[in-house]
């Protein structure tokens, strides 16, 4: 590609981007009437080198356990996941003790009866309600399961901004709308006289009355016991629950990018720099006979000719 074509392509791209931004901001202004956009938080797990802050995940789990788990299930997570790399990384002993505090329904036994036993690390978190109807009957609305919620509740920045969010450019590739939304939601109960009014919930009337306030959970590591802190910690925990393998995925993605970039560098530098180096490679290279015609079709024809002659 010549420099001229390159500059034409980049000019085209910038014009396209500017147009997208212009339409996007009009759309954003329209959306703002309905519900404000959650503020962007800075998360350790954002970006290509993202990782979870272990202490934050442990605090977030504490908030989930002591407050949210009274209504919200966490069906896809087993106790032992809490000890795995890339997660809150509680010790095996802590997880065993934690699991044993729960009663798990099991069975049937030899007599055909269901029974309860203490939890084991391989068990999943038992749900607070037997089924959705029981939850609705008790709360008036169904509390969604926490397993995937942080990824399912990505608030939309509307077309075409969601395209920009996906671009691998600074400010692009943003995938943390879900945790941003949850932080905003928990901090968004703005009417003292209406515990179900929330600035950030679509339509503003949410079936979950303000679930947590300052001082509700007793952190032991000196972290402030405030609502904004609880909101950030539990959102980070929910992000982990929705994507427990995030760190692994980001590492793999980075390695693939590095590999692609290095192979691209090889193909643009002199062949000898990246060509075959081992003796085997070299001999393989020597034995390869390029077809005299120079076309990739001819070796096939030449081989079939040879077969015909030998018959």
* Interacting residues toward ligand HEC by CB under 6 A: 63, 67-68, 70-72, 139, 141, 143-144, 149, 153, 182, 185-186, 201, 206-208, 211-212, 234
Nearer to ligand HEC, 161 or 208 (CB): 208
Report, in Å, the least distance between residue 229 CB and ligand HEC.
12
Task: Locate all alpha helices (DSSP H) within the chain, ordered by sequence.
Answer: 3-34, 54-66, 92-100, 132-139, 149-152, 161-166, 177-187, 227-242, 246-268, 271-274, 279-287, 298-310
- Residue 50, judged by CB atoms within 10 A of its CB (0-12, 13-18, 19+), counts as middle
Report, in Å, the least distance between residue 29 CB and ligand HEC.
22
Nearer to ligand HEC, 68 or 241 (CB): 68
Report, in Å, the least distance between residue 171 CB and ligand HEC.
25
Report, in Å, the least distance between residue 262 CB and ligand HEC.
42
Rounded to an integer, what distance in angstroms lies between the CA atom of residue 174 and that of residue 167? 8
Nearer to ligand HEC, 173 or 227 (CB): 227
Nearer to ligand HEC, 164 or 197 (CB): 197
Q: Which residues pair with 2 in a beta bridge?
A: none
Nearer to ligand HEC, 46 or 182 (CB): 182
Report, in Å, the least distance between residue 35 CB and ligand HEC.
10
Angle, helices 227-242/177-187, rounded to nearest 10 degrees:
150
Max distance between CA atoms of the chain, in angstroms, equals: 96
CB 28 within 8 A of CB 161: yes
Question: Which residue from 226, 171, 230, 180 is spatially nearest to 200, judged by alpha carbons?
Answer: 180
């Amino acid at each position: 590609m010549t420099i001229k074509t390159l500059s034409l392509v980049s000019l085209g791209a910038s014009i396209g981007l500017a147009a997208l931004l212009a339409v996007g901001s009009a759309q954003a202004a329209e959306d703002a009437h309905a519900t404000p956009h959650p503020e962007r938080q800075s998360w350790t797990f954002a970006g290509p080198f993202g990782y979870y802050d272990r202490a934050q995940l442990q605090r977030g789990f504490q908030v989930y356990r002591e407050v949210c788990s009274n209504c919200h299930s966490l069906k896809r997570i087993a106790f032992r996941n809490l000890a795995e790399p890339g997660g809150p990384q509680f010790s095996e002993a802590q997880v065993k003790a934690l699991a044993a505090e729960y009663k798990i329904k099991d069975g049937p036994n030899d007599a055909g009866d269901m029974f309860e036993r203490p939890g084991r690390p391989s068990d999943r978190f038992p749900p607070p309600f037997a089924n959705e109807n029981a939850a609705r009957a008790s709360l008036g609305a169904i509390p969604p399961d926490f397993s995937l919620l942080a990824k399912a509740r990505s608030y939309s920045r509307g077309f075409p901004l969601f395209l920009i969010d996906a671009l691998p450019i600074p400010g692009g590739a943003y995938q943390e709308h879900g945790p941003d939304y949850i932080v905003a939601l928990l901090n968004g109960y703005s009417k003292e006289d209406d515990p179900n009014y929330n600035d950030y919930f679509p339509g503003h009337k949410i079936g979950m009355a303000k679930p947590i306030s300052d001082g509700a959970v007793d952190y032991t590591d000196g972290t402030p016991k405030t609502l904004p802190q609880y909101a950030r910690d539990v959102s980070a925990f929910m992000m982990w629950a929705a994507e427990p393998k995030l760190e692994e995925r980001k590492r793999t993605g980075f390695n693939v990018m590095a590999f692609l970039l290095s192979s691209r560098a090889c193909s643009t530098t002199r062949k000898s720099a990246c060509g075959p180096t081992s003796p085997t490679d070299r001999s393989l290279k020597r034995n390869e006979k390029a077809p005299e015609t120079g076309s990739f079709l001819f070796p096939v024809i030449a081989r079939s000719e040879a077969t015909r002659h030998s018959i």
